[in-house]
Structure 1
Amino acid sequence: MGKKEKSYIFIRLLSAAGTGFFYVKRKTKKSPKFTEKLEFRKYDPRVNRHVLFTEAKMK
């Protein structure tokens, strides 16, 4: 028996403020939004405010 392929991948949400702060989030492969890049407004503690976080590749 082979291993089951994971139905999700991990992505990095990088701060648009340029602080280098990031969040890691799971994203499903089967979702219709898989081709779109995710963007969220989340809290960046290095600038003490909510900023835009955009999807970037995991290193």
Structure 2
Amino acid sequence: MIDHFTLTLSGVNASTPGLEDALFESGCDDALLCFYDDNVYLEFDRDSKSVERAALSLILKAACR
């Protein structure tokens, strides 16, 4: 089953230098990067055996280690 997620990012804003590159390099290359005012959020579709696994995989990728 494919689940759709929206992940709101904290600690960054639309002016954060290198944000797009950092997200891409962390593995979020399939996310839609969105801005609402100065807030940043990602939209993902994930195919996984469970909603929990799908959500965890995108949170770990978006952590930008």
Q: Answer yes or no: same fold by TM over 0.5.
A: no
More helix by share: 2
Q: Over alpha carbons, which structure has the higher Rg? A: 1
Higher RCO, Cα 8 Å, sep 6+: 2
More strand by share: 1
